[in-house]
Chains A and B, each alone.
Chain A
Amino acid sequence: MRKEPEQRLPKKAINVWRLQNTIDTVLFALLPTVYYFVQLYIFQSFYQWITWVLIGFVILYGLTKIVIWPVIQWHRFRYEVHEDEVDIKQGVIIVRRTLVPMVRVQHVDTEQGPILRKYKMAAVSITSAATTHMIPTLFIEDADSLRDQISRLASVHEDE
């Protein structure tokens, strides 16, 4: 097998993902909360113990997604921009490795949501005629220069 891509994301990505997953977990926690009140006030015939099972699920989900998941995710994520292609390896349970040839790149964007903005970071998304690929958390200067670099390489390859 050819060599693994070498670039890694900044360590700070772990913090970003932790924050994102915390928000996920909080949303998920609405489920037992809503169930608890529905069970208490509207449908008294519902079982009470289900609330505890749901809370258990939320805690389990939160623990894996906030504590363990981002670390593995960071260790797994590698990417490399070659002259002819972008090579990305990622995934926690299923490890995917994707090749996007420069010839196929239609456009490159940097995107930034509120959480990424807080950390002065941005995501680079690479779009072909059929797919979109993400390098999710880079410092904004790096993201910008990566975007420019890919778009330069892609335009060199303009003709088929």
Chain B
Amino acid sequence: MNELKRQHPAAIFINSAKGLFQLAVPFAIVAFFQNILWIFFIAFGALLVLSTLFSWLVWLKFKYRLEEGELYVEQGIFVKKKRYIQRKRIQAINISAGLLQRLFGLVKVNIDTAGGGMEAEAELVAVTRTEANRIRSELLKDPAVDKSSSETEGGEFSASDVLEESEVVLEAEPNSTWYLGKKRLIYTALTSSGIGLVISAVVAVLSQGIQFIPDSLFAETYDFVIGLSILLLTLTVFVVLLISWLISSLITIITYGNFKVEMYNKEMVIDRGLIERRQLTLAYKRITAVRMIRSILRQPFGFVSIYVESAGGGNNKEQGSTLLVPLIHERDVQAFLEQTMPEYAFAREIESAPKRAAIRFFIRMLIVPIVLTLTAIFIWGTIGLLGLLIVFICGLLAWFQYRDAGSGTNESFMWLRYRTIGQTLVISPKKKIQSATRYVSILQRRKQLSSFEFYVQSSMAGKSFSVRDISRHTSDDIYNWYSHEKTIDKKNNIKE
């Protein structure tokens, strides 16, 4: 039996530094502007001592142990918490190395379980790489090896010894590996749509920066600006956009650099990040849906990104999903699926929304812009005609939304395709779908149309996918396909 272990002592430093940083930065900014920096330094010193002491206590009281594929964690300073995490409940293991961890050559391990919500069920802030790998292999990787040793009862005491020695075996070569590569990384960065967020940040920083410009200079430039007005305004907008674009690209490169996916028999390992390295281990059988996204910037170039939904293990920044492939060309998708998830690599025929549905897509997209444009023309006269540009864009989008709406099934999978702005194709196995609903509104009913929605489990409880205005007949077919009831009345079919 293993002894209870503590984390690497560096955890004390990491925990206290992280806590201090969060506390100190806003405080330091306030102190700087109020000219009371000395108070800040005294407070900081006191906090440093306190938080180091606290972190040391936390570290001291945090102990864990691996036993026969089960993780036992004991923690708490005043109230002691003890927790067993069973292997079969573990959904994903996330190994990451932030800046602080990298200083010590250590990693952080998050262990996600089903129904754990947003927070990891167990978090080891600082352990060595080999220890992390050992935990991962015992809890996830190659259960077959471990099973054989626990099945031959009495072999359990040697199990840990075997594991210590057989590190090499468990760190076995992956069946195959997919790399994002430098070229694709750059394309990913240039077409990433995180621009909006960055724009607001850049504008915020620039507007803060104005405070530091001396008044005299400000007055001079003001006169200058008045002279240039439109030209300069356009230029400023352009520069802000350009800077935002570059920053957002840079962020993408940092988060997705070194992106690779390794495939093993029962799970895959997604590796990424230049500064903060993340490594997510995801069991295939936890995957509940695969989504292929063609964003509006990437579609013209034929690029697709692929996300997976899984029960547990999702990334909060990606709305609980996991990014499996940031960028891949359409023509390579099939080969990639074959390589990674062969059961998903089938031909997907799509029954599109019927012609009679088109008008509904246009009405939905156009009603607001048309009313707004008419109002604008009414108030401002001819200049309001500019609104027609927006009407045109929305009309174009409506056309694409109509063209993309569709669905399909085969014996064990269903897939829906729809577009909001980018196009999504979601594929889910029947046995992972939690519930399915067919919607028919009064207006849809007259045209024999219907919407369809299904739910799967994701790391944040549930996630739904839906397609609008497909033919009533198609959605009935999917509904029947999903039904577990074997006896479907043939007579009633004729009535339809």
Contacts and interface: CB of A to CB of B under 8 A. Distances in A.
A84 B436 contact: no
Contacts of A2: 476, 479-480, 483, 485, 488-489, 492-493
B177 to A, nearest CB: 30
Interface in A74-126: 82-85, 87, 91, 93-104
Identify which of B438, B455, B485 gathers the most chain A CB atoms within 10 Å of its CB.
B485
Contacts of A1: 476, 479-480, 492-493, 495-496
Contact of B436 (A95, A98, A160): A98
Interface string B10-26: 00000000000000000
A41 B438 CA distance: 51
A103 B441 CA distance: 29
B484 A3 contact: no
Contact of A96 (B439, B464, B484): B439
A65 interface: no
Interface residues of A, number: 27
A130 interface: yes
A129 interface: yes
A130 B484 CA distance: 18
Given A93-B441, A129-B462, A103 B479 contact: no
Contact of A160 (B431, B461, B484): B431
Contacts of B311: 129
Assign chain B's interface to a size class.
35 or more
Contact of A128 (B435, B437, B464, B486): B435
B437 A96 contact: yes
B440 A129 contact: no
A94 B439 CA distance: 6
B72 interface: no
Contacts of B464: 130
B434 interface: yes
Main SS at interface, chain A: mixed
B441 A100 contact: no
Contacts of A44: none
A85 B485 contact: yes
A131 B476 contact: no
A95 B496 CA distance: 17
B484 A98 contact: no
A72 to B, nearest CB: 11
A126 to B, nearest CB: 9
B274 to A, nearest CB: 35
Contact of A84 (B114, B441, B485, B489): B485
B439 A95 contact: yes
A100 B479 contact: no
B440 A94 contact: yes
B434 A94 contact: no
Contacts of B479: 1-2, 97, 99
A85 B462 contact: no
Nearest to B430: A101
Contacts of B110: none
Contacts of A91: 439
B463 interface: yes
A100 B433 CA distance: 9
Contacts of A100: 434-435
B442 interface: yes
Identify which of A83, A98, A100 gathers the most chain B CB atoms within 10 Å of its CB.
A98
A104 B437 contact: no
A37 to B, nearest CB: 33
B426 interface: no
Contacts of B435: 98-101, 104, 128, 130-131, 133
Nearest to B461: A130
B366 interface: no
A96 B115 CA distance: 27
B307 interface: no
A3 B492 contact: yes
B104 interface: no
B434 A82 contact: no
A95 B114 CA distance: 33
A2 B477 CA distance: 9
Given A93-B441, A130-B457, A130-B461, A99 B482 contact: yes
A103 B433 CA distance: 10
Contacts of A3: 489, 492
Interface string A2-20: 1100000000000000000
Contacts of B463: 130
Contacts of A99: 435-437, 479, 482-483
Contacts of A103: 431, 484
5 contacts: A1-B496, A2-B479, A91-B439, A96-B440, A131-B434
Interface of A: 1-3, 82-85, 87, 91, 93-104, 128-131, 133, 160
What are the 5 A-B residue pairs with the smallest beta carbon separation, nearest first?
A130-B462, A84-B484, A130-B434, A130-B455, A98-B437
Given A130-B457, A133-B435, 15 more contacts: A1-B480, A2-B476, A2-B479, A2-B493, A3-B492, A84-B486, A94-B442, A96-B437, A97-B479, A98-B437, A99-B436, A103-B431, A128-B462, A129-B434, A130-B462
